[in-house]
Amino acid sequence: MQLSTHTTPSGFLLPSIHSAPPFFTQQPNPATQAIVAEQWSKLILSYARFRNMFTLRVEDAEIPGGEWDEVLRNERINRRLLPAHLASLIADMVSKNLASYDPPNQTRSVLLWWRQPDEWAEVLYQWADSTGQMNTILTFYEILDPPVPSALSGIPITVLRRAVSILTKSQRAQIISVSDGEGVRFLSRNGK
């Protein structure tokens, strides 16, 4: 059995373990399952990053041709990830802070943190700095849909809110209520 990497039609490079048939079965041996879970979470996060996706649902394992199909299914060896297995992988990712249930209080859908919240905070702050928007008030809408596309274009509002709250803790941003909702003002670090 030769296991090799594979490039999907969308250009994502699948690791060689993705062509190993037992990779798609939940392993009864806890030590082995830990390896499987680690490999899956790595794969899921890098694919989400590649496609700029933020949500993974247990149902995605059952949607042929869906946006997760390339990863959750391997037609070349006729294997797919079963929903129950995906649910346990998701729970594992949540326990490692690589994902969080979104909306909360359910376990069928998660928000994927392929950048950790503090990394998003840095990206946000860098963006505000490099586009010269320090000390101006920006609405959340202006950040999520800027005239010039940025790394933050189209990120979920939950992610943005977490990033902003991290920045407020280090006195680098201030939440301000504006007429049509919330706004934020970025503050330069040396208090100019």
Partner 1 sequence: MHRLGGVGLAAFERQQQSARSFAELSSTISQTQVENLHNQLAQFRAALSRYASTHRDAIRRDPTFRHAFQQMCSSVGVDPLAGPRKGGWWAEILGLSDWQYELGVQIVDVCVSTRERNGGLIEMGELVRLVSKLRGVGSGAVTEEDVVRSIKTLRPLGAGYEVLDVGGGKKMVRSVPRQLDEDQAVVLAVAQEEGGRVSEMLLVSRCGWTTDRARAALENMLLRDGLCWLDEQDEGDRTCYWVPSAMRWD
Q: Which residues contribute to the site for partner 1 (CB under 8 A)? A: 1-5, 16-17, 20-25, 27-29, 31-32, 35-36, 78-80
- What gap in Å lies between CA 164 and CA 158, rounded to an integer? 10
- What gap in Å lies between CA 97 and CA 116, rounded to an integer? 8
Nearer to partner 1 among residue 1 and residue 148 (C-beta): 1
Nearer to partner 1 among residue 92 and residue 186 (C-beta): 92
Q: Minimal distance in Å, beta carbon 19 to partner 1?
A: 9
The residues that bridge with 173 in the sheet, in sequence order, are 186
Q: Minimal distance in Å, beta carbon 24 to partner 1?
A: 6
Nearer to partner 1 among residue 17 and residue 134 (C-beta): 17
Contacts by 136-139, CB closer than 8 A, 24 or more apart: 136/185, 136/186, 137/176, 137/178, 137/183, 137/184, 137/185, 138/183, 138/184, 138/185, 138/186, 139/178, 139/180, 139/181, 139/182, 139/183
Nearer to partner 1 among residue 38 and residue 67 (C-beta): 38
Nearer to partner 1 among residue 78 and residue 190 (C-beta): 78
Q: Minimal distance in Å, beta carbon 108 to partner 1?
A: 23
Q: How far is CA 124 from CA 28, 39, 131, in A?
A: 42, 29, 11
Q: Minimal distance in Å, beta carbon 96 to partner 1?
A: 17
The token pair that represents 90 in the structure block: 């998701």
Q: Minimal distance in Å, beta carbon 27 to partner 1?
A: 6
- What gap in Å lies between CA 157 and CA 94, rounded to an integer? 19
- What gap in Å lies between CA 67 and CA 22, rounded to an integer? 23
Q: Minimal distance in Å, beta carbon 188 to partner 1?
A: 35
Nearer to partner 1 among residue 35 and residue 63 (C-beta): 35
